[in-house]
Amino acid sequence: MKLDASALNFVLRLADDKPASESRQKYCRSCGSLIPYDAVYCPNCGASQETVTTPEAARPRGRVMEAISKRGRRIRLYLFLLSLGIFIAAFLIGSTEPLSSQEALAIVEQFGELIGENPTMTQILMNNLPLCLLFFIPVFGTAFMAFVGYSTGVVLSALAIAYPPADALVLALTTLAAPWTWMELTAYSLASSEGIMLILAIIGRNIRRELKTFLIVLAVSAVLLALGAVIEILAINTAMAGQ
């Protein structure tokens, strides 16, 4: 009796497949026992042998990247408001700094040498712009911004002590009410928040896109400082003309 070709091939496949499945074994992921290669559960301990793969987006790093990508604008806004609050808080704290008369006069003298008797728009801009550039440095920039805010408040405290009956708190609130002050604060807060966003971009592996935003924020900050310097000079000239 002869088998045709198709029947013979079928028998040969059965002969080849069965030993392969019976002879191949693997170690249990839990107890280490040798078990059949195609076993889903270990016959000895019952542990599952299926490989669990966690999607990239579900991993901790993946979740961070996804959160930064989806909530980038909201995070940026929160960081901006936080930076703004830090500067204003440090500024107000500095304005309440108790100083002796000698300390106050020394600070006022140093401040006068810094800005000059008749400051120009260029002088004001060249004083504020380098500070703003330092605020872009991640983390350090935010801390340094707080120090600058505090130091500015201390100057107002010194002015109030050197020229009574001026009140430091009134000077601080008057300064915060000036339009050029808010232009400067906006530029500073943008720089500080962008510095932190650069760190988040590195974590989220999205540094190239963030570098484009960095250049935009840098340009906007420079424009705000320039406009603030122009408005401040106009206000100073108007006040001097009215005297």
Q: Is residue 66 part of a domain?
A: no
**199-219 pLDDT tens trace:** 988 887 778 888 999 999 999
Cβ atoms of 81 and 185 closer than 8 Å? no
DSSP 27: E
Cβ atoms of 47 and 28 closer than 8 Å? yes
**73-111 pLDDT tens trace:** 889 999 999 999 999 999 999 999 999 999 999 999 888
Q: Is residue 32 part of a domain?
A: no
What is the rounded distance in angstroms from the CA atom of residue 70 to the CA atom of residue 64?
10
- Under the banding of pLDDT at 50, 70 and 90, the label for residue 144 is very high
Count of structural domains within the chain: 1
Cβ atoms of 119 and 236 closer than 8 Å? yes
Range of the domain at 134: 73-242
Q: What is the pTM of this model?
A: 0.71
pLDDT of 49: 79
Q: Is residue 22 part of a domain?
A: no
Q: Is residue 13 part of a domain?
A: no
Q: Is residue 36 part of a domain?
A: no
Q: Indicate whether 119 pLDDT > 60.
A: yes
Q: Is residue 58 part of a domain?
A: no
Task: Report how far apart, in Å, the C-alpha atoms of 34 and of each of 21, 37, 44 are.
Answer: 14, 9, 9
